[in-house]
Amino acid sequence: MSMCKEDKKQYFVQIGNKQVEVNQEVYLELYKDQLYEKNQQRKRRRNNILSFDAMNEENNDVYDFVPDMNSNAEEEAIHRATMHKIKEILKEIDPDNIISLNYFLEYSEHEISAILGIPKHTVNRRKRKILNSIKKLME
Residue 79 counted as domain residue: yes
Residue 120 counted as domain residue: yes
Q: Are 2 and 27 in contact (CB under 8 A)?
A: yes
Residue 129 counted as domain residue: yes
Residue 63 counted as domain residue: no
> Any idea what DSSP says for residue 113?
H
pLDDT in tens, 49-102: 545 455 455 555 545 555 555 667 788 888 888 888 878 888 888 888 898 888
| Radius of gyration of the chain from its Cα atoms, rounded to whole angstroms | 18
Residue 61 counted as domain residue: no
pTM attached to this predicted model: 0.44
pLDDT in tens, 95-130: 888 988 888 788 889 888 888 899 999 999 999 999
Total number of domains constituting the chain: 1
Domain that holds residue 120: 72-139
Give me the CATH number covering residue 91.
1.10.10.10
Q: Which of 60, 59, 1 is nearest to 30 (CA)?
A: 1
Residue 2 counted as domain residue: no
Residue 44 counted as domain residue: no
